[in-house]
Amino acid sequence: MLKAFLIYLSKAAWAKRIVTHWQVARRVVLRFVAGETETDAIEAVRSINQNGMTATLDVLGESVTSVEDAQAAANAYLSLIDAIEQEGLRSWVSLKLTAFGLDIDSALCQRNLIAVLDRAKAAGVMVTIDMEDSPYTQTTLDLFRSLRQQGYENVRTVIQSYLLRSDDDVRQLAEEGAGIRLVKGAYREPADVAYARKKDVDSAFVRQMNNLLEAAKDGRGYPAIATHDDAIIDQGLNFAQKEQVPPACYEFQMLYGVRTTLQSDLLAQGYNVRVYVPFGTQWYPYFMRRLAERPANLWFFASNFFRR
Ligand SMILES: Cc1cc2nc3c(=O)[nH]c(=O)nc-3n(C[C@H](O)[C@H](O)[C@H](O)COP(=O)(O)OP(=O)(O)OC[C@H]3O[C@@H](n4cnc5c(N)ncnc54)[C@H](O)[C@@H]3O)c2cc1C
In this prediction, residue 307 has a pLDDT band, given cuts at 50, 70 and 90, of: low
Mean pLDDT of 210-225: 97
Cβ contact 159:173 at 8 Å: yes
Residue 55 has pLDDT above 80, yes or no: yes
Residue 57, pLDDT > 90, answer yes
Tell me, yes or no, if 220 is annotated catalytic: no
pLDDT above 90 (res 22): no
Find out whether 53 and 273 touch, Cβ atoms under 8 Å.
Answer: yes
Q: Do 6 and 288 meet the contact criterion of CB atoms below 8 Å apart? A: yes
Mean pLDDT over 102-122 rounds to: 97
In angstroms, the Cα distances linking 129 to 147, 221, 253, 269, 297 are 11, 15, 15, 29, 27
> Residue 130 catalytic?
yes
Comparing C-alpha atoms, which of 55, 127, 65 is closest to residue 96? 127
Confidence of residue 297 (pLDDT cuts 50, 70, 90): confident
pLDDT category, 23, cuts 50, 70, 90? confident
Q: Is the CB of 160 under 6 A from ligand 1?
A: yes
Residues of the chain above pLDDT 70, percent: 97
- CA torsion 174→272→197→208, rounded to 10°? 20
Cα gap 105→67, rounded to integer Å: 9
Q: Is the dihedral of CA 54, 215, 144, 192 positive or negative?
A: negative
Give the model confidence (pLDDT) of 176-209 as tens digits: 999 999 999 999 999 999 999 999 999 999 999 9
Model confidence band, residue 308 (pLDDT cutoffs 50, 70, 90) = very low
All structural domains of the chain: 1-32+284-308 (no CATH), 43-130+256-282 (3.20.20.220), 158-249 (no CATH)
Q: Is the dihedral of CA 55, 289, 157, 95 positive or negative?
A: negative
Quick one: what percent of the chain has pLDDT higher than 90?
81
pLDDT at residue 11 in the model? 87
Q: Is the CB of 182 under 6 A from ligand 1?
A: no
Which of 57, 183, 297 best tests ligand 1's pocket when mutated (most atoms within 8 Å of CB)? 183
Ligand 1: does its nearest atom lie under 6 Å from the Cβ of 290? yes
Whether the CB of 293 sits within 6 Å of ligand 1: yes
CB neighbourhood size of 8 (10 A) = 13
